[in-house]
Structure 1
Amino acid sequence: MNMQVPVLNIIGPVGIGKSSAADAISEMLEHDYALPHAVVDLDHVRRGFPAPSEDPFNMELGFKNLAAVWNNYRSIGAKCLIIPSVMESREHLDKMRLSIPGADIFVVRLVASLEVNHDRIRGREKTLDSLNWHLQRSTQLAEELSQKNLENVIVDTEGKLPTDIGREIILKWGIIERYGSTGRL
C-alpha cells in the first residue's frame, strides 16, 4: 500500500513565475519548517532534443523522468513534492499521478495580466525568435488554462515578490498543518 504523497503542482503560462515560486516555497519549507521535500521542474526534466513528432513538448519523457527522480528523492526522506510545470490537461494530471504513487495533487494556477507576463518574458528571452514564440505561447496558455479549470486555487502574482507568492501558496496548500512546523508526522 502506498502512502499519500502531497504534491504541489504550480501551473500557468510560460513566464508567469512558476519556477521562482517553487524556489521560494522550497526555501521556506527548508529554513522555516524543516520539512523534507523535493522540487522537480517538469519543464526541465522533459527538455531534450529532438522531441518525437507525436509529442513535441516531450511530455512522456517528462513523466518517466519524474517517476525516476521522485523515487530517488523519496529514498532520502522527501515527504512532499513541488512541481512547477506547464500542465495543460486532466490527462497530464493523471499521468503525474501514475508517476508518483499515492500522489495527492494540489494544483495552483498562477495568473497575472498579459502585459505583466509579457514584460517578464521580455526580460528573460535572449533571441527574437524565442521571445516571439514565448509571447505567443504565453497568450495561448493563459487563455486555455483559464477555461480548463485544472486548479484547486488561483494565485495572482502581479506586484508580488516570489516569497510573498510562496507564502500564500503554502497557506492555501495546507502542507504545514498536515505535517506540523517541524516537518514530522
Structure 2
Amino acid sequence: MRTLFINGTVGVGKTTTAAAVSRILSAQGRPHAVIDTDSLRDRYPTPVHDPFDLELELRNLAAVSANYRQAGCELLIVAGVIEDPNAVERYCAATGVPSDGTGEFFFVRLIATPQTINARICARHMGDEVERDWYLERAPRLASILEQRGLGRAFDADKRKEAVAQAIMEVTRL
C-alpha cells in the first residue's frame, strides 16, 4: 500500500490538509483512507516511559492499515507527528510499505508562521487554558525539532488547504 504521511507541529493543519487530499482523491475516484494518528493513541493515562504513546499508536496503525488494505484502499493518508528519523521505518512497517526502497512512503512536513499556528491552537482549545497553553508551548519546540532533523519535504501551510493538498499531490505524484 502507498502511504502519504503528513508530518508537522501541533496546530499546523495536518488533519485539515489530509482531508483536502482526500477530497481530491475522492473526486478522482481513487480508493483511499485517512488516518489521524491522534485518534490511535487517545487514552488516559499514557505510560510514563512513553508519554506520547508511540507504541500503542504503531500497533493500532498496523491493525487499521491492514483493515483498510483488505477493504481495497490503495493509498493511506496519515496525519501525525514523527519527530525521530529512526521511527520512519517503523511507520513504513505499520502501514505495510517496505522500507527497503521498493515501497512508496511519501513523507511531507507542513510549516506555517508562529502567528498562524498560535491562532489555530487558540481557536481549537478555546475554553481550556491549560491544554491551550501546553500546545502553545509545545508547537515552536516541535517545529524546531522537525526543522533541524529535516523530517519531510516542507510545504507552506499558511496557504489555502486545497492549494497545499494540490502541491503535495503534484510533488509526490500521487
What range describes the TM-score normalised by the shorter chain of this pair? Answer: over 0.9
Alpha-carbon distance between aligned partners in 2 of 1:116 and 1:21, rounded to the nearest angstrom: 15
Q: How high is the TM-score relative to the length of structure 2?
A: 0.93
* Paired position in structure 2 for 1:88: 83
Q: How high is the TM-score relative to the length of structure 1?
A: 0.87
Q: Once the 2 structures are TM-superposed, how far is the Cα of residue 162 of structure 1 from its aligned partner?
A: 1.4
Secondary structure of the corresponding residue to residue 154 of structure 1: strand
Q: Once the 2 structures are TM-superposed, how far is the Cα of residue 100 of structure 1 from its aligned partner?
A: 2.2
* Paired position in structure 1 for 2:72: 77
* Paired position in structure 2 for 1:147: 148
| Aligned with 1:15 (options 3, 11, 16) | 11
Count of residues in Structure 1 that have an aligned counterpart in Structure 2: 168
Paired letter, 2:18? A
* Paired position in structure 1 for 2:111: 111
Runs of 4 or more consecutive aligned structure 1 residues displaced over 4 Å after TM superposition: none
Describe the superposition over 1:49-69 as per-residue Cα deviations: whole angstroms up to 9, x where unpaired: 111111011110000000110
* Paired position in structure 1 for 2:101: none
Q: Once the 2 structures are TM-superposed, how far is the Cα of residue 27 of structure 1 from its aligned partner?
A: 1.1
Secondary structure of the corresponding residue to residue 40 of structure 1: strand
Q: Once the 2 structures are TM-superposed, how far is the Cα of residue 101 of structure 1 from its aligned partner?
A: 2.4
| Structure 1, gaps ≥5 residues long | 176-185
Q: Once the 2 structures are TM-superposed, how far is the Cα of residue 102 of structure 1 from its aligned partner?
A: 2.6
Alpha-carbon distance between aligned partners in 2 of 1:146 and 1:50, rounded to the nearest angstrom: 30
Q: Once the 2 structures are TM-superposed, how far is the Cα of residue 91 of structure 1 from its aligned partner?
A: 2.2
* Paired position in structure 2 for 1:52: 47
Alpha-carbon distance between aligned partners in 2 of 1:63 and 1:85, rounded to the nearest angstrom: 11
| Structure 2, gaps ≥5 residues long | 99-103
1:163 and 2:162 correspond: yes
| Aligned with 2:34 (options 14, 36, 39) | 39
Secondary structure of the corresponding residue to residue 61 of structure 1: helix
Secondary structure of the corresponding residue to residue 164 of structure 1: helix
* Paired position in structure 2 for 1:120: 120
Alpha-carbon distance between aligned partners in 2 of 1:87 and 1:102, rounded to the nearest angstrom: 16
Alpha-carbon distance between aligned partners in 2 of 1:66 and 1:44, rounded to the nearest angstrom: 10
Identity %, equivalent residues: 34
Secondary structure of the corresponding residue to residue 88 of structure 1: coil
* Paired position in structure 1 for 2:138: 137
Paired letter, 1:53? V
Q: Once the 2 structures are TM-superposed, how far is the Cα of residue 7 of structure 1 from its aligned partner?
A: 0.9
Alpha-carbon distance between aligned partners in 2 of 1:164 and 1:15, rounded to the nearest angstrom: 18
Q: Once the 2 structures are TM-superposed, how far is the Cα of residue 173 of structure 1 from its aligned partner?
A: 1.3
Q: CA RMSD in A?
A: 1.1
Secondary structure of the corresponding residue to residue 91 of structure 1: helix
Q: Pairwise mapping of residues 166-177 of structure 1 onto structure 2 (< 5 A)? A: 166-175=165-174
Paired letter, 2:170? L
Secondary structure of the corresponding residue to residue 47 of structure 1: coil
Paired letter, 1:24? A
Paired letter, 1:40? I
